[in-house]
Structure 1
Amino acid sequence: MKPIVFSKEETADLAPRLQAFLRDELDVEVGALQASMLLDFMARDLGHGIYNRGLYDAQALIAGKIEELADAVFALEQRPPAR
């Protein structure tokens, strides 16, 4: 798996959100550099778990849709006329 690397724009969006979370929920003040470093750590060391959870959820959604399609195709089956 390729490492998760955020663009400068993504980091500029995500780091302040992380700073706000730490401040509001944990009463921890961190600077922009520290938030960026924490974001990098989370992406590198925790990101695979979050990414994999997304894949599992997508697989479950696709499997459900395939089952719906199979049911719809089965519903098209024609029966021979009654005698």
Structure 2
Amino acid sequence: MTGIELSRDDTERVVEAIKQYFSDELDRDIGGFEAEFLIDFFARQIGPHFYNRGLADAYALFSEKADELGYLVQELEKPPA
């Protein structure tokens, strides 16, 4: 896969969701083996995009909180005597 593995339970849930989607939306049946290949394909193709987006969001939040912390520390400063 891509270095990130789904648990067996998560894989089974996603496989069932893919099979249901193919049945409902595309009027086609797909087996579990094929659905697992789709999971691997999408994980390789779009997984890095979502991973990088998650990192960017985490960095933005961290930066925001670090700025807030900086302001709080400045408020603790005492005037010189």
> What's the TM-score bracket when you normalise by the shorter of the two chains?
0.7 to 0.9
1:2-81 equivalence runs, <5 A: 3-23=3-23, 27-28=25-26, 29=28, 30-80=30-80
Number of aligned pairs? 78
**Aligned 8 A contact 1:15 1:35 in 2:** yes
Identity fraction in percent: 36
Normalised TM-score (structure 1): 0.74
- Structure 1 runs (4+) greater than 6 angstroms displaced: none
What per-residue deviation string (whole Å, max 9, x for no partner) do you get for residues 20-75 of structure 1? 44555xx1243333222111111122211111110110011111110110010001
Task: Report the CA distance between 1:4 and its aligned residue.
Answer: 2.7
Task: Report the CA distance between 1:17 and its aligned residue.
Answer: 2.8
Give unpaired runs (5+ residues) of structure 1: none
Give unpaired runs (5+ residues) of structure 2: none
Query: Cα RMSD over matched residues?
Result: 2.1
Normalised TM-score (structure 2): 0.75
1:70/1:36 CA distance change after superposition, 3 Å = same
